[in-house]
């Protein structure tokens, strides 16, 4: 029952664009150093980062913005399924057009 309820409120859309958001500057020099060390330890291209996504929803043609951690599959043109709520969820839409 819960799965069908979440299915009915999820909306299909397409990612129109995305942009990386800068990390908030750390005021304390010691914390900045720790942040740089952890980033270097993760290796190139693996820093999670945060992105702002612009998504055009199929129903009503509305454009919405969503901020979330970056993932490799998030690309402009990707079809997605957005589940609204206090903590919106974004998933690939395997259903196609």
pTM above 0.75, yes or no: no
Please indicate, yes or no, if residue 14 is contained in any of the structural domains. Answer: yes
In a domain, 23, yes or no: yes
**Residue 97 resides in a domain:** no
Give the whole-angstrom CA distance, residue 43 versus residue 61. 39
How many domains would you assign to the chain? 1
pLDDT per residue as tens, the chain (97 positions): 454 444 458 999 999 999 988 776 656 676 656 656 655 554 454 446 888 999 999 998 999 999 888 898 999 999 999 998 888 889 999 875 5
């Amino acid at each position: 029952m819960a799965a069908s309820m979440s299915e009915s409120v999820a909306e299909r859309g397409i990612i129109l664009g995305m942009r990386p958001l800068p990390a908030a500057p750390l005021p304390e020099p010691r914390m900045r150093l720790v942040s740089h060390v952890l980033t270097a330890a993760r290796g190139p291209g693996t820093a999670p980062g945060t992105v702002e996504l612009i998504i055009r929803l199929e129903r009503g043609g509305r454009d919405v913005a969503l901020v979330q951690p970056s993932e490799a599959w998030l690309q402009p043109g990707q079809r997605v399924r957005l589940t609204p709520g206090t903590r919106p969820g974004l998933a690939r839409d395997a259903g196609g057009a």
